[in-house]
Amino acid sequence: MTIHLGSVLLGIGAALVLPVASRVFRPLAVDCLAAGMGVLEEARRVVAEQVEVLEDIAAEAKAKREAAAIAPSGDFEPEETGEELADVTRGRARRRSGSGRRVAPPKGDESDT
């Protein structure tokens, strides 16, 4: 078995170059991974927002369908907008008047005493 000078020099060169290359490429690899993780998190956020929008649309459609099933005729036209229907489906109470004041019962109706 003979030892070739080229093989020995190639082995020594690899032993010298690999640690230097590791020091140079490691920060580059870390930066690339950090950027990739940022892109992934942003994509997850966008997908979560779109899923929420889709769930809102589905809730509105369900509320409209239930309201149409309750209506006596097939010509149901809801007065509420989509946002108000979504509020009703979520169990939120809404005010019909814009004043926000409570109306006191008539003075002649004193059933508490």
Q: Is residue 56 in some structural domain? A: yes
Q: Is residue 38 in some structural domain? A: yes
Q: What is the pLDDT of residue 38?
A: 97
Q: Dihedral (C-alpha) 5, 8, 11, 15: value to the nearest 10 degrees?
A: -120
Give the C-alpha separation, 111 to 113, whole Å: 6
Q: Is residue 71 in some structural domain? A: yes
How many structural domains comprise the chain? 1
Q: What is the pLDDT of residue 36?
A: 96
Q: Is residue 102 in some structural domain? A: no
Q: Is residue 65 in some structural domain? A: yes
Distances (CA, A) of 102 to 36, 84, 88: 56, 21, 21
Q: Is residue 55 in some structural domain? A: yes
Domain enclosing residue 34, as ranges: 25-89
Best CA proximity match to 60, nearest among 83, 28, 91, 31:
83
Q: Is residue 77 in some structural domain? A: yes
Q: Is residue 109 in some structural domain? A: no
Per-residue pLDDT of the chain (113 residues; tens, 9 = 90+): 788 888 889 888 888 888 888 888 899 999 999 999 999 999 999 999 999 999 999 999 999 999 988 876 655 555 555 555 555 555 544 444 444 555 555 666 555 55
Give the C-alpha separation, 46 to 110, whole Å: 57
CB 63, CB 86: distance < 8 Å = yes
Q: What is the pLDDT of residue 93?
A: 45
Exposure pattern of 59-72 as b/e (b: 16+ CB <10 Å)? bbeebbeeeeeeee
Q: What is the pLDDT of residue 22?
A: 84
